[in-house]
A and B are shown apart, each in its own frame.
Chain A
């Protein structure tokens, strides 16, 4: 290997760095076969009428027409929109406020951080089941408030089709805000102390400094966090399965669950492929502008 690369004459291009190439075979296979090939495969088969088994009989946009005519898919999309919007807003706001509080040179910072981040170590299944228990109308929060005297108090989001998605949101925020807080805190710590000094000399109140100076300076952190939260939102699946299994009725369905159910239970592969292609498009809309911003202008090594 070394002999080949060290040689003064130009050895065969293909044999240069041969060991590195051999070592990269798993990466190349994954990138090309699974990520690229798999994605193209699914998109292509979304134009077929595959049922139990994938087969190449093309039906044009039939699957997509059927998809957008299905009430269950519409509900899935609406749920995802509501969940996504509130999840983004609340994660960013709560995460930032917590980070700002943690950045006040407080005592026990480590303890607080540990407490806020531990839910992130837990799986969505565990998170979902705990919150299913806490929101159980018979035993959980509703029954406790009622036993305190407010007998007409009603809080059973997981059993109310109109607000079930907010019940899922509560659990999602509990699980995920600690991570956002950590990312934001890292961003705050990266800001030059001189900025703060200058702002104070100019007599700018603290909240104004945050809003007008610090947050604009943390643009990069916000964008990264946004991308992380957003790509997590599109994938939301486990949490819904654990908390409600999509119920009551189909009130808490989400696209990821639609895809799974059509591929592996209803054995209507074409529908599953079409739905997953829609998910892919959603992610592309989020990722492409970000990737362009992040890597567009001359990517640096490391």
Chain B
């Protein structure tokens, strides 16, 4: 693919003969500062700056004092770096009646995300395994309903879920929210695992059957150890998805259990008092930190995860 692209400035005739003589693996020496290169890299660098700018502004603002924000511009680096806004955002900012900062929301989010991720992956992987290897009548129908369900706007199902959770006595609690995340993670995760398990060599499964292994033995002894990469992908998908959730958090929990995103929005968009932009931006960076760390650490796996799960959220 490289040759084609780099040769685009050449005439068709030259290109064609050049290719034929050199064969498909040949690489044309190219000038470093060709017009094409300037255009391609120039555009990409401008675009990259555009994407980076908000992150830069967020961080810079969070390190300034309020007087400096009032006089300066948002792109200017801080003259005097202060971490006070960060401390305040974490431990003192007020939401509603509580003034213990984002720390409360952070720990709520941890307490929501951890069990949600573990339970949803455990349930979905077993489902996917059953669908791929132990097909039974009607399974495909349920699965189709599940996958189509992933496209239904959440707003349509929210109220019935409120009723179900209320009947179960877990409406407004963290448990309720964990159940909701497990439910809505199910379509995409089941699809992910079903496709993965279906792609494993069937002989493996048959051999195990011949040896007398049953449903759970095969799952734990053969499938699970072979599928660590897909488990990691599912984990990334769920951690970022659940951490970033806002709607479910606001609908299904009480204020004292609000996840970090909801709390952040309440802190920043509260109408009372003087707007402390530096504290707001510090709070925003803090909330974005967990998914960003996951993103930067997991790299290519994240791309795989979102490519598989882009339909969600």
By a beta-carbon cutoff of 8 Å, the part of chain A in contact with chain B is 1-2, 13, 16-17, 19-21, 23-24, 26-28, 30-39, 41-42, 45, 54, 98, 101-106, 111-126, 129-134, 139-140, 143-144, 147, 174, 178-179, 182-183, 186, 193, 196-197, 200-206, 227-228, 231-232, 234-235, 237-238, 241-242, 245, 256, 259-260, 263-264, 269, 272-273, 275-277, 279-280, 283, 287, 291, 295, 301-302
Contact: A35 with B145, CB < 8 Å? Answer: yes
A-B contact pairs, 20 of them (CB 8 A): A1-B215, A17-B134, A20-B136, A20-B139, A21-B130, A26-B127, A27-B146, A31-B145, A104-B2, A123-B287, A124-B244, A126-B244, A126-B264, A133-B61, A179-B310, A200-B19, A206-B8, A260-B155, A279-B153, A283-B152
Task: Considering the complex, give the chain A residue whose CB is closest to the CB of B49.
Answer: A115
A130 to B209, CA, bound (A): 55
* B282-313 interface bits toward A, Cβ cutoff 8 Å, 1 = contact, 0 = none: 00100110011011100100110011001101
Contact: A42 with B159, CB < 8 Å? Answer: yes
Contact: A126 with B51, CB < 8 Å? Answer: no
A122 interface neighbour in B74, B265, B292, B299, Cβ under 8 Å = B292
Tell me if B157 counts as interface (CB < 8 A to partner A): yes
How many A-B pairs with Cβ below 8 Å? 303
Taking the closest CB of chain A, its distance from the CB of B103, in whole angstroms, is: 17
Tell me if B190 counts as interface (CB < 8 A to partner A): yes
Q: A115-B48, A235-B153, A242-B265 are in contact. Are A41 and B160 (CB under 8 A)?
A: yes
Contact: A287 with B310, CB < 8 Å? Answer: no
Taking the closest CB of chain B, its distance from the CB of A17, in whole angstroms, is: 4
A123 to B285, CA, bound (A): 11
Interface residues on B, range: 35 or more
Question: Could you tell me which residues of chain B, from 209 to 253, have a CB within 8 Å of some CB in chain A?
Answer: 209, 212-216, 240, 243-247, 251
A116 to B183, CA, bound (A): 31
A174 to B57, CA, bound (A): 14
Contact: B159 with A35, CB < 8 Å? Answer: no
Q: A19-B214, A20-B134, A196-B4 are in contact. Are A241 and B153 (CB under 8 A)?
A: no
Contact: B154 with A235, CB < 8 Å? Answer: yes
